[in-house]
Amino acid sequence: MLIGPADVRRLMESEDPGSTLVIYQGRAAVISAGDLAADRYPGALSITSQQEVVDMLGRQVTSEQDIEQLAANLDVTASNLGG
């Protein structure tokens, strides 16, 4: 498993709505929009941003069930992208 509930929780709790969940050096990481734009994580595979999640769901992710389901979906996405 590349992406778990703790990774999604970190993404959704970030104060930067541009924060992005990435796969970097074989692990999930949440990085700021500024770090992503500055290319401080070369080769990072972008999975989704906090804002993309809110736009997709039409709301903030709040329940543990939401977090677990989103983590499972994002883990499949990351695996399909070669993360």
| Ranges of each domain in the chain | 5-81
User: What is the pLDDT, as a whole number, of residue 83?
Assistant: 54
At 4, the pLDDT band (50, 70, 90 cuts) reads: very high
* Whole-prediction pTM: 0.87
Q: Distances in Å between the alpha carbon of 1 and those of 13, 37, 58, 69, 76?
A: 21, 27, 26, 14, 9
How far, in Å, CA of 78 to CA of 83, rounded? 5
Q: pLDDT (tens digit, 9 = 90+) per residue, 11-27? A: 999 998 889 999 999 99
Phi, psi of 27 (to 5 degrees): -135, 155
CB 78 within 8 A of CB 45: yes
User: What is the pLDDT, as a whole number, of residue 27?
Assistant: 94
Count other C-beta atoms under 10 Å from residue 62's C-beta.
9
User: What is the pLDDT, as a whole number, of residue 80?
Assistant: 86
How far, in Å, CA of 75 to CA of 3, rounded? 5
Q: Which residues contact 76 (CB under 8 A, 6 or more apart)?
A: none
